[in-house]
Amino acid sequence: MFLVHVRLRPHPLGALLPESVAALMAAADPTATAGGSTTGPTDPITAGGIGRVEHVSLHPRAESGPVIGVYVHARDPAAAEWVAVDAWHRAVAREPALNAWKLMAEPPLMRPDHDV
């Protein structure tokens, strides 16, 4: 399991990230094809079995902007990052008002199931 921090730019009007984001992202299915996201890479990891979101934790008041902690079961770090970012894009697709929060640079990755 990997922990991916999805960092967002603050809302332009200062609004807090809604708590519904956690449920929307947790329900995201990276293997879905009907109406699915086209934001991921076109290599074989986008085929079935890339990974799945286990849990989502919101930190809407982080100093630099909202942070979303996404726990992902995936085979490798690249797949975990792809699943987490794809879950964000799927949440935005279901709730277009979320588009006001923009993704920052690539998300940092942690392995909560390994000692540091």
pLDDT (tens digit, 9 = 90+) per residue, 56-96?
999 999 888 999 999 999 888 888 899 999 999 999 999 99
**Rounded CA gap, 75 and 92, in Å?**
25
Place of tokens 């979320």: 98
Q: Which residues of 51-81 are buried (b: 16+ CB within 10 A; e: fewer)?
A: bbbeebebebeeeebbbbbbbbebeeeebbb
Tell me the pTM.
0.77
**Rounded CA gap, 46 and 8, in Å?**
24
pLDDT (tens digit, 9 = 90+) per residue, 5-51?
999 999 999 999 999 999 999 997 765 433 344 444 443 344 456 88
Domain coordinates in residue numbering, the chain: 2-110
